[in-house]
Structure 1
Amino acid sequence: MVELLAPAGTWQSFKAAVESGANAIYLAGKNFGARAFADNFDEEKLQEAVEYAHLRNVAIHVTVNTLIDNNELPALADYLIYLYNVGVDAIIVQDLAVAKLAQKIVPDLPLHASTQMSVNNLSSVKMLEKLNFTRVVLAREVSLKDIEYICQNTSLEIETFIHGAICVCYSGQCLMSSMIGGRSGNRGRCAQPCRLPYTLVDEHDNDLLEEFEAGQYLLSPRDMKTIDMIPELIKAGVSSFKIEGRMKKPEYVAIVVNAYRNKIDSYYDTSVTYNKEQTDKELSQIFNRDFTTAYLANRPGKNMISDRKPNNRGMLIGRVQEYDYNTHLAQIKLSDDLSIGDKIDFWVKVGGRVTTNVADIKLGKNSVSCAHKNDIVTIKLPAHVHEHDRVFKVFDINLSEKAKTYFNTSDPVRKINLQMTLQASVDQPVHLSLVDDDNISVDIASEFIAQAALKRPLTYDTVQKQMVRLGNTIYNLHQLTCSIGENVMVPMSVLNELRRQGIEALLAKRLQNFERPATVEKLNIKKDFFTHKNNHTAPTQLFVAVDTVKKVAAAVKHNCSGVIFGGDSYTGQIISNNDYNKAISLCHNNITAIYISLPRILRQNQMDYIDTLLNNIAVDNIDGIYVHTLGQLHDVQRFCQQYDMNIPIWSDFSVNIFNNISLNVVKDLDISGVVLSPELTLQQIKNITSQACLPTEVIVHGHIELMVSEYCIPGSFLGDVASGKCSRPCQNNHFYLKDRKNEHFPVITDQFCHMHILNGRELVMLSHLPDLSASGIDRLRIDGRYMDCNKLDKIVKLYKEVLAKGKYHKLFQNNNMLEEAEGSNFTRGHFFRGILSND
């Protein structure tokens, strides 16, 4: 049976998840989890949670899915040992360093690849097989067809999200929160800038969606709801269904888990009742931003976006028929139930929202506790509304009370059936055998020797009265069998003690199923992973990333060390094989290294792009290839093996290399060099490069990509993507997202129709080049894809000169010249301000 995996950010949510039907829970400790703003579990509470879950055959998966700084590695090692020793069933991982450490320290602890690893194709899954992962959480962008294909071609367990909030960007690839406010999603502190208002404008600041009556929340996805697709997902071979929501209330967890539990059970057992109408109503009521199945069936375009409201919209329950401005009384015709204690939200035509807690309901002249569909009720409001305004119920008191039955009681809701057999004969110890539904059994014998009864012999009813008293244990007495000799006397205290001992022994035996071998001794992090000393003496090289042949010419004009050509086309035009070959020739003619870049995102049906490209360009004449994912690495290495070639492969910034252990991992995968994470500070970079086992590169100039998404705003609202054929408005205009502070973020659509949102401020590190070149970094990159040729020409020339002359360059003798060269609307990225820590 497929696993139902539920979220828990608090103890109440954890209990709600277990008691409402989850097979497994994912949660976080106080550190290293990607939801740092949830309450999460300290060590004592986590140990309690593990025991609580294991007694009920529920697994615990702990999120250790943030990027790890070098200084945090010793604490991480201690934490992994702790998790192993308390018996967690798996850890969910983003950083390759966590996987490496876990395999060394606690090799019996299963590894799950987090959705933060952006796995969306079989090749990436195959690489994770090599890295000894046991499960992969696929990106939410993967289609049902591709899920089935992946499941059929891997031995790993495949986990997919089925309900809850969606990231508009590929998870693990978003820098928007960190670049804007220093709170990184990769470090567990996403500020959710996707839920803020934006306007799509052109280069003249015209609102391009005004006539379409689009809302302002252009990056705010609807919530995922796949309950009607559960049979198809089960048939596809998915091992685990994941519900999002570690920041959600326990009521939400209880209702959602219970709904999917019933749906899953009804698939496997037709006798299980599943009420679709009631379930859909409850899922909508407990929380929704409207619903979507994301990319499972198609590319939904704007139909995936909740552009008018970024938070819970509740359920439509009626409209205002009349409103009295003097008394503030509103008459509402109901289309659904309303009760005292509910909370309702009026969508006012002019003036936003009016919200009130329902304290009094008038039906005619009478006060009532509840009213029903088609009733016309009167309610007093705190502010003005208008006739025909829609009324939404955003909190349902009755549904909340139902949800609380799963976590507001000391007694277990989910009980395990138990069979008991008691044997009692004169002059013999009393025997009690217990067997539960999981076929776990124990036999207990009393020290007491049964005696002949003088007055009241033992009867079945007497035994049952004592054995049924199981209190708040997880057990329910399902069947009692007694074999009682003639005229036997056994005191009630003996029966009670037998029952108590039997239950204790049974519980202990249940926990034994989760025991593991003892851990090995803790590693010495520095000794085992930081043995390499970088004696870097070669001059720092300057590489330039471009996407057109004309820009290649501009880059090589001033003797840059190398060009990174191709990948994502910021023009939206296909980069042809002829373009690649021209770029290769240009670089060779100018004695400049040429590296080929692959696109940042390749879906399953796009993975043949790699073989097609490499088979049709002068691959013998390239100096290397940059890959963005483990899957791309897999396919490039397969190509090289097939043709007996040795092409150096560099991992690009999307791989999120954040520490030296991750460097070790990719070196073992035969990577030749790495682009470090753009979220590292200069000091962190120096710490890495001082002991780097591979050459390193950092991006020092250009508009940093903040998001990459399957969803495209221009295509969705202007090009009608949802129809299945986009008119490609990206080819005829320049687009920007304007935020509340009037910052303009360029919106780019590449040749694969992926949307790239760039930072509105250009990264400029010109004045810090001397320090950067002395820091041990091997390559500095200018990202020229968003520049025109004239600007790129000037930037490359300037950087090349400053690298050559260092602090003696004339720019450093004249502050006005330096300021003019750098401009005004720029950023230093994270080189100096960094991002918030995991703790």
Structure 2
Amino acid sequence: MDEIIKNQSRPLELLAPAGGFEAFKAAVENGADAVYLGGKSFSARASAANFDLEELQKAVRYAHERQVKVFVTVNILIADQEFQELVDYLYSLHEIGVDAVILQDVGVAELIHTILPEMETHASTQMTVNTSWGVQHLESLGFRRVVLARETSAAEMKMIAENTSLDIEVFVHGALCIGYSGQCLMSSFIGGRSGNRGTCAQPCRMTYQLVNKEKKNLLATKSPGEHLLSPRDLNLAEELAELKRIGIYSLKIEGRMKRPEYVATVIRLYRQALKRMEDQLETEAVGPLLTSSEHQELLQVFNRDFTSGYFRENLGAELMSYSRPNNRGTRLGRVARLEAGRLSLKLEAALHSGDGIEFWTGRGREGVTVGSIWRDQTEVEEGKPGETIQIEFFGMAQPGDRVFKTNDALLMEKARESFQEGREQRKGPLNMRLVGHVGDKLRLEVIESGRRVTVYSTGLAQKALKRPLTRDYAFQQLGRLGTTPFWLNDLELEIEEGTMLPVSDLNEMRRSAVEELLKEVPRQRVARQTYRQRVEKWKQRQAEERASLRETVIPRISVAVSDNETLQAALKAGAKRVLIGGEHWRSRRGFSLEEIRNSFEICRKQGIDCAWRLPRILNQAQSSSLLLDLKKATEWDRKPKLMISNLGELEILKTVDENWPFEVDYSLNVFNEASLAYFWRRGAKKVTLSPEVHHEQLAHLAKWPAVELLAFGDLEMMVSEYCPIGSTLGGKKGERCTGTCVKEPHYLRDRLRYDFPVETDQECRMHLFNVKILNLYEELAQIRRMGISTVRLQLTRQTPEQVRQIVRLFVEAWDTLCENKKFSWTSEEGMSELTSLFPEGFTKGHFFRGVL
């Protein structure tokens, strides 16, 4: 409780994005407390301009001179061959003096806390942490801050904040991902551009149709729009007081791909909202934090419509921007008439030359930049609300067509002025004291934000013959701070009456004081030699651990199933290792807790290796329910082996029993040796690798024992709290969902007419699967030669008959390859049988192509 009171007493941090130096200056000059940005490598927005080391050094210096922090994103999965470049980069960031790095990869997190513990680390939203248990695990990893998943509600945020010493950061404005960050492989599987590697192509913003098994468009008559996976933009500007009350520390603005003008405008408006919030808290007043005109500016600079996201509740269709995936602009008016190259507009808002406008017609949308404006045949500078004006136009439009303003020239100019070179306004106050006597050097004491600098005049103070030094004159000279990041707030003059000092001396004292203030504040540095020794020690430890863990692992086919019928089919087909549980699809009965217990008992008697797969996403309440189930499981004859799917689940099972045996599922994105080693140290008995791993990476990772590889089955591309079926077909707004998802199979059809299967789980989350089944059957011999001991069949959506055939084929092939029988195994016959089961074809995933 003391911790949350402390958090509430601190000012909220306004954290701004910057994709380049102009956007960085825009953020600082408009009131950001901190800026997050990416380098040229290892950044989750690889297509932004980003910063090389020289630019980054310049940015850090500029920010620190203005009491602003800089956080650098290293928030992607790192391949083993990149680690040498990474450790060099991390040391450069330390030398430059960045305030923190933002991370996704647990292996990288442990690396930094081992070789560079002096560097502060923040857990990216890509780590998919949304519960107090997940945050607790991050504490044990050495993080100082966590960026919660965007799906975390206000009530959950409050509970998390009350139970951690970490700073809590949440997104408050900007674009929303429709799926859980860190768990979305849609761009990765469709085009090889991975969100986990910073190259997401945003296929979710494209058009889709919701179709059934007969490929009928189920929304043809409803016409909500075809951007079925495109959310509105987040806007929590009016929730700032609530965020402060529940213990949030940092308010994060999304937008490293946005223009500097966007950053300038949004940061300025949120800074104004924060000032009003503090004033209201002080006076106990209640009112909006943004005026109507400020809200209009927020809309104008970029919006897809606004939403509060999951802050209060799951909004369903109200979360989405079905009709438009990009900037909607603001309503300008309607077309009145079109004649002779001039278009008449009935205005609902102001219009200026240079504004960008867009017509929404029955044939689509057409955009133009406004040139001259006429009113009653007279050229005017501005069209005002309520007026009918004319503009030059040679396109197609009809009376009644809606018109939107997509770019406001005056707003953009206002934004640009705020970060224009030489017109910087972000300055800190200086308090000065000038002291001394005639015949002595005068002493100038300068205080700035807790720092004190003292300088002396070059010459001695003299008795004035004509013009003695006055406070006003001294203030005028010492206040000439120009483009420095300071302004003179107050000056105390304690000198003998009639004292004189040349103006050149006053100017030199001012310059010297500023120079001292701009010197880098001494900080703890790590010598390069010390750093190299730490890195070598870390490498040696990892190599020794890998060597010591060489143990005999029985090669097996691992079969993941989601209900009792498919479990029985797998066992009858010869499976010696099964994974039960996972997500409980609404289209299937799933496993009850008692059935999980019985399944373990059956497997134990038959000598079958069995693990209980936990769901990849659990919120706070669902995690509490899992905790109760695990406590019940401790009363069974033998504790079941668990397969964890997120960091919170690891903390939950350790809460029940520190020695509970567990494995790690692929959703924890193990992409390198460092992550593998991390989970081994935590006690993992087996680790399933990320499905984004390339075969050349596999050969390296296979040196570790008990590594599991996905070799066949459905590739899950996305998990989302938003359900497109329930949101569009589930009933009217406010009504309970009618359960349409369980009545027939559903698919999202893209513009190329590929149909992506949709499943919903018992918590009504949407799971989107790849069109084609992963199939590495033809690569089994190569996989075995690499040393991989276990390959997995992910058969959580297949029928019992399909499970039986697939398991039989893979078990026979794997047993043959593992027994090194004299005759060579060939895949032709098995592939023929698999193709007959899945005529739509297969994919080899990233086995050969890897990810960008």
SS at match of 2:516: helix
1:396 aligns with 2:398: no
Residue 269 of structure 1 and its aligned partner are, at CA, apart by 2.5
2:254 paired with 1:244: yes
Query: Which residue in 2 is equivalent to 1:613?
Result: 629
Map 1:206-221; keep pairs closer than 5 Å.
206-221=216-231
* SS across alignment from 2:158: helix
CA distance in 2, matches of 1:300, 1:473: 48
Q: 1:781 aligns with which of 778, 792, 803?
A: 792
For 1:704, the aligned partner's letter is L
Residue 24 to residue 530, structure 1, CA distance change in 2 (3 Å)? same
| Partner of residue 289, structure 1 | 304
1:697 pairs, out of 700, 708, 711, with: 708
SS in 2 for 1:15: helix
Match of 1:475 in 2: 486
Residue ranges of structure 2 left out of the alignment (5+ in a row):
1-10
**Alignment check: 8 A CA contact 1:577 1:616 kept:** no
Aligned equivalents of 2:412, 2:269: Cα separation in 1: 14
Change (3 A) 1:721 1:564: farther
**1:640 is matched with which residue?**
657
Does the 8 Å CA contact 1:559/1:592 hold for their aligned counterparts?
no
- Report what 2:191 is aligned to: 181
Could you tell me how far apart the structure 2 residues matched to 1:108 and 1:483 are? 43
Q: Please tell me whether residue 370 in structure 1 is matched to residue 387 in structure 2.
A: no
The structural deviation recorded for 1:684 is 0.5
Post-superposition Cα deviations, 1:445-485, rounded to whole Å, max 9, x if no partner, equal 12301223344433334323321211100111122232343
Map residues 300-319 of structure 1 onto 2, 5 A cutoff. 300-319=315-334
Counterparts of 1:470 and 1:720, CA distance in 2: 64
Query: Which of 739, 744, 747 does residue 733 from structure 1 map onto?
Result: 744
How far, CA to CA, are the matches of 1:340 and 1:57 in structure 2?
39
- Cα RMSD (Å) of the superposition? 2.1
Instruction: Give CA deviations for 1:590-619 in whole Å, capped at 9, x if unaligned.
Output: 432221111111100111232333345584
Q: 1:521 to 1:585 in 2, by over 3 A?
A: closer
The letter for the 2-side match of 1:348 is: T
2:182 paired residue among 172, 186, 198: 172
Contact 1:430 1:445 in 2 (8 A): yes
Q: 2:844 aligns with which of 808, 812, 828?
A: 828
Distance in structure 2 (CA, Å) of the matches to 1:814 and 1:632:
39
Rounded to whole Å, the distance in 2 between the matches of 1:291 and 1:809 is 66
Aligned mates of 1:537, 1:668 — CA distance in 2: 19
Shift of the 321–477 alpha-carbon distance from structure 1 to 2, 3 Å rule, reads same
Residue matched to 1:160: 170
Structure 2 letter corresponding to 1:592: I
Q: Deviations over 1:734-761 (max 9, x none)?
A: 0001111111100000111111000110
Aligned-pair CA distance for 1:813: 5.0
Q: Which amino acid aligns with 1:633?
A: L
Amino acid at match of 2:716: E
Q: Deviations over 1:395-444 (max 9, x none)?
A: 001111111122113232122122222235321112222123x1322121
Give the whole-Å Cα distance in 2 for the aligned partners of 1:648 and 1:421: 67
Question: 2:502 maps to which residue?
Answer: 491
Amino acid at match of 1:197: T
Residues 217 and 306, structure 1, Cα contact 8 Å, conserved in 2: yes
Measure how far apart 1:830 and its partner are.
Answer: 0.4
Distance 2:470 2:616 in 1: 75
1:556 maps to a residue whose letter is L
Corresponding residue for residue 407 of structure 1: 419
Q: CA deviation at 1:514?
A: 5.3
Q: Is the 8 A contact 1:542 1:779 kept in 2?
A: yes
- For 1:623 and 1:275, the matched residues in 2 are separated by 54
> Structure 1 residue 553: deviation in Å?
0.6
Look up the SS of the partner of 2:804 in the other structure.
Answer: helix
Which residue is 1:723 aligned to?
Answer: 734
Tell me, in whole angstroms, the C-alpha distance in 2 between the residues paired with 1:814 and 1:260: 61
What amino acid is aligned across from residue 627 of structure 1 in structure 2?
A: I
Which of 512, 516, 541 is the matching residue for 2:521? Answer: 512
Residue 356 (1) aligns with residue 381 (2): no
Q: Distance in 1 between matches of 2:763 and 2:493?
A: 72
Measured in 2, the distance between the counterparts of 1:513 and 1:144 equals: 39
Asked whether the 8 Å contact 2:107–2:678 carries over to 1, the reply is yes
Instruction: Tell me the distance in 2 between the aligned counterparts of 1:589 and 1:425.
Output: 97
- 2:118 and 2:524 in contact (8 A); partners too: no
1:258 to 259, 268, 279: 268
- Whole-angstrom CA distance in 2 between matches of 1:572 and 1:345: 47
Task: Find out whether 1:443 has 2:454 as its counterpart.
Answer: yes
Give the whole-Å Cα distance in 2 for the aligned partners of 1:138 and 1:666.
22
Instruction: Work out the CA distance in 1 between the residues paired with 2:831 and 2:237.
Output: 59
Q: Structure 1 pair 620/92, CA: closer, same or farther in 2 (3 Å)?
A: farther
Distance 1:332 1:587 in 2: 74
How far did residue 526 of structure 1 move?
Answer: 3.5
Q: Counterpart of 2:243?
A: 233
Alpha-carbon separation, structure 2, partners of 1:342 and 1:370: 11
Report what 2:107 is aligned to.
97
Give the secondary-structure state (helix, strand or coil) at the position aligned to 2:580: strand
Find the aligned partners of 1:274 and 1:714 in 2 and give their Cα distance: 36
Structure 2 counterpart of 1:198: 208
Q: Which residue of 1 aligns with 2:4?
A: none
Q: Which of 45, 61, 73 is residue 35 of structure 1 equivalent to?
A: 45
Check the 8 A contact 2:816/2:825 in 1, yes or no: no
Distance 2:825 2:134 in 1: 46
Indicate if the aligned counterparts of 1:54 and 1:514 stay in contact, CA closer than 8 A: no
Following the alignment from structure 2 to structure 1, what is the Cα–Cα distance between the partners of residues 208 and 428? 52
Contact 2:561 2:795 (8 Å CA) reproduced: yes
Structure 1 contact 812–818 (Cα < 8 Å) conserved: no
TM-score by length of 1: 0.95
Which residue of the partner structure matches residue 811 of structure 2? 800
Distance 2:826 2:708 in 1: 28
Using the TM superposition, give the Cα deviation of residue 664 of structure 1 relative to its aligned residue in structure 2, in angstroms: 1.5
Cross-structure match for 1:671: 684
Distance 2:826 2:96 in 1: 61
Deviations 1:40-81 (A, max 9, x none): 110011111111111111111111110011111111111111
Q: 1:514 to 1:18 in 2, by over 3 A?
A: farther
Contact 1:556–1:590 (8 Å) recurs in 2: no
Q: Distance in 2 between matches of 1:54 and 1:656?
A: 35
- Supply the distance in 1 between the matched residues of 2:804 and 2:829 (Cα, whole angstroms): 21
Match of 1:662 in 2: 675
How far 1:723 sits from its partner (Å)?
A: 2.3
The DSSP-based 3-state class of the residue aligned with 2:657 is helix
Q: Distance in 2 between matches of 1:264 and 1:455?
A: 51
Partner of 1:3 in structure 2?
13
Residue 210 of structure 1: how far off its partner (Å): 1.3
- Segment of structure 1 superposing worse, 802-811 or 300-309: 802-811
C-alpha separation between the residues in 1 aligned to 2:823 and 2:395? 65
> TM-score, normalized by length of structure 2?
0.93
Distance verdict in 2 for CA 1:720–1:671, change over 3 Å: farther
CA contact (8 A) 1:424 1:488 kept: no
Tell me the matched-pair count: 824
Conserved 8 A contact 1:610-1:636: no
Superposed counterparts of 1:316-355, under 5 Å? 316-324=331-339, 327-349=340-362, 351-355=363-367
In the superposition, relative to structure 1, how do residues 721 and 297 fare at CA in structure 2: closer, same or farther (>3 Å)?
farther
Q: Label 1:610 to 1:442 Cα distance change in 2 as closer, same or farther (>3 A).
A: same
Whether the 8 Å contact between 1:593 and 1:623 is mirrored in structure 2 is: no
Preserved contact between residue 411 and residue 473 of structure 1 (Cα < 8 Å)? no
